Amino acid sequence: MMKHNYTILVVDDEESVRKLLTAVLKREGYHVESAVDGQDAIEKCATVKPHAILMDIRMPVMDGITAFKEMKKVHRGVTVILMTAFAAVETAIEAIKLGAFDYLIKPFDIDEVTLLVNRAIQIQRMEKEITVLHRELNDSYRLDKILTNSPKVEELYRIIDRVAQSNASVLITGESGTGKELIANTIHYNSHRRKGPFIKINCSALPEGLLESELFGHEKGAFTGAMMRRAGRFEQADKGTLFLDEIGEISTKLQVKLLRVLQEREFERVGGNETIKIDIRVIAATNQNLEKMVKEGRFRQDLYYRMNVVCLNSVPLRERKEDIRLLADHFLHKFSYENDRGILRFDDGAMAALEKYDWPGNVRELANVAERAVIMSTGSVIFIEDLPLVLRDKSVIAQNEIEKDRYTGHTLKEMIKEEECKLIKQALLRNQGNKMKTAKELGISRRALIYKTQEYEIE
């Protein structure tokens, strides 16, 4: 935290107190302004715009409580720490009920002052960061920011736009790695519940006993190790959305309890008798065939129909080939930035290999391949050798097709020149334009390299 970026306003009619607090807070690294009474403080607030105010309660002209009330009318989020003698503590407590941050009793301890101010600024900074992150999160799931060239995906997101405006339960089906969680996020952050919590739980990650407690919470003493009451995910998601991933993994016993919540919007904690009412939207996802599970008696039919008010099918990557280049470039730049690398693009052979591959792991696998390529590459371009072995086999075929198209109708001399030009360009990229290193790698003299770059008009 850069404290010199934060301004503290000290308000006290006693000059000695103002000087002491100013010296202490400046030593802490803050920028400090001062005022002699409440009216002076209000005027200073308009120009200085302090991040926190240390203000005495008893002052001439205008007391601290009156000044605080006036400040709140103009600066709603102002952080005020009141200073008071022991006799006025009750007044300070009343001010805290009105929104003051805290109070100090005179004579105060210097360490207590710095601790309280630091805490006030830290909380203020964290609240600002949370607000920014929440805004960025909302923006990142805007429907107009979805990366796709696929008509199938565009149609899916047109449906999502309509579904998001309702309170209907949603079932998202599709293979692993196709972005089912992304769809759930998009629904939540484009709905009227977007300011409420978005709670996620993977139903396959916990055994039945723990999953029941995670979902519904438990009372103290409900089972061995239940040392205190704990709110479950349903309670935590009140006024928001609960995302149940891998819903096909829950036991038939929990299916009964889940059905009741979806029907009645109420439940009891494990080991408890109190009925808790909630206002939530439930989104579930699975890569299993629930209809088949219903026929086999492994999934309740009534629960299936209750969840399947709206069913959305995520599109596997092999059915949206037109998105591979777009997504690959997106992940390349994302991981290049995260790893502080200056990687610019996939070369033609590497991109052809990506587009030929079937992607059984879907978008998640493509993201992993892009991240690995960024880590393994030595230059600013991703080549075939930077890809995993399973894609390199595909890349040989892809590259052969590229070369076949490229050289059709060319003479041998033309083909040799084109290949030589390509090799020089790739070597220059790997060596970031350093001609001495490039010449050494290619096994030619620097003068010969310069001649070749001029001949092939390589910049």
According to DSSP, residue 229 is labeled -
Q: What's the pLDDT tens digit per position in 183-221?
A: 999 999 999 998 899 999 999 988 888 899 999 999 988
For the chain, percent of residues with pLDDT exceeding 70: 90
Cα distances (Å, whole numbers) of residue 450 to 65, 413, 436: 78, 20, 10
Q: Is the pLDDT of residue 133 over 70?
A: no
Q: Which pLDDT value is given to residue 394? A: 52
Q: Which domains does the chain have, with CATH numbers?
A: 3-135 (3.40.50.2300), 143-315 (3.40.50.300), 319-455 (1.10.8.60)
Can you read off the two tokens belonging to residue 222? 């409900």
Strand partners, 242: 199, 282
Exposure letters 297-317 (e unless 16+ CB within 10 A, then b):
eebbeebbebbeebebbbbbb
For the chain, percent of residues with pLDDT exceeding 90: 48
Q: Is the pLDDT of residue 404 over 60?
A: no
Per-residue pLDDT, averaged over 219-241, amounts to: 89
Give yes or no for a cis peptide into 107 (omega within 30° of 0).
Answer: yes
Strand partners, 10: 34, 54
Instruction: Answer for the pair 174, 315: CB distance below 8 angstroms, yes or no.
Output: yes
Range picked from 279-288, 391-400, 404-413 for highest mean pLDDT: 279-288
Q: Is the pLDDT of residue 400 over 60?
A: no
Q: Is the pLDDT of residue 398 over 60?
A: no
Instruction: Categorize the per-residue pLDDT at 423 as very low, low, confident or very high, splitting at 50, 70 and 90.
Output: confident
Q: Which pLDDT value is given to residue 396? A: 47
Q: What's the pLDDT tens digit per position in 243-256?
A: 999 999 999 989 99
